[in-house]
């Protein structure tokens, strides 16, 4: 009976040790809040209190991302418009990968814009899965005032 108890004890210990390695491996594939804040600071040139608070809220709501896209987006519209973007998908493991995106925009809009884009990426097991369609909602309001 003691041989069976020892065998079960060893099996349980091996199972726990192997799960610990899996947890460590999963943590090694995600970015911490400080890492993302440093990447955003490097991309935008500096960070603000608002950016740090925004990143903090996303981490609180969504957790640690598996990657991020740093790039730019440009578009133009007259009621209906188009948006195009390009950037690099950065994952903790592997080389950065160039990505492109495009999509329509609909709404009360006239003009064009160019902006820097820093997007956190979640639940992306394989880099090629980034090429699926992802719906998004965006809003902007610009107020111009003078003295």
Interior angle at CA 25, CA 24 and CA 27, nearest 5: 65
pLDDT score of 11 = 43
* Torsion on CA atoms 65, 135, 83, 49, rounded to nearest 10: -40
- Structure pTM? 0.71
- What count of other Cβ atoms lies within 10 Å of the Cβ of residue 128? 9
Interior angle at CA 24, CA 23 and CA 29, nearest 5: 100
Q: Write down the domain spans for the chain.
A: 1-30, 32-131
Residues in the chain, how many?
Answer: 147
Q: Which of 64, 62, 67, 39 is nearest to 52 (CA)?
A: 39
pLDDT in tens, 26-75: 468 899 999 999 999 889 887 678 888 999 999 999 999 999 999 999 98
């Amino acid at each position: 009976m003691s041989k069976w108890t020892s065998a079960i004890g060893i099996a349980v210990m091996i199972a726990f040790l192997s799960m610990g390695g899996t947890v460590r491996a999963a943590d090694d594939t995600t970015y911490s809040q400080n890492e993302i804040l440093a990447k955003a600071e490097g991309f935008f040139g500096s960070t603000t209190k608002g950016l740090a608070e925004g990143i903090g809220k996303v981490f609180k709501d969504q957790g640690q991302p598996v990657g991020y896209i740093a790039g730019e987006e440009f578009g133009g519209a007259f009621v209906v418009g188009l948006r195009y973007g390009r950037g690099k998908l950065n994952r903790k493991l592997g080389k950065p990968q160039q990505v492109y995106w495009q999509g329509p925009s609909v709404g009360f809009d006239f003009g064009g814009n160019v902006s820097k884009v820093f997007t956190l990426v979640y639940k992306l097991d394989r880099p090629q899965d980034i090429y699926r369609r992802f719906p998004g909602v965006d809003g902007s309001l610009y107020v111009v005032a003078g003295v």
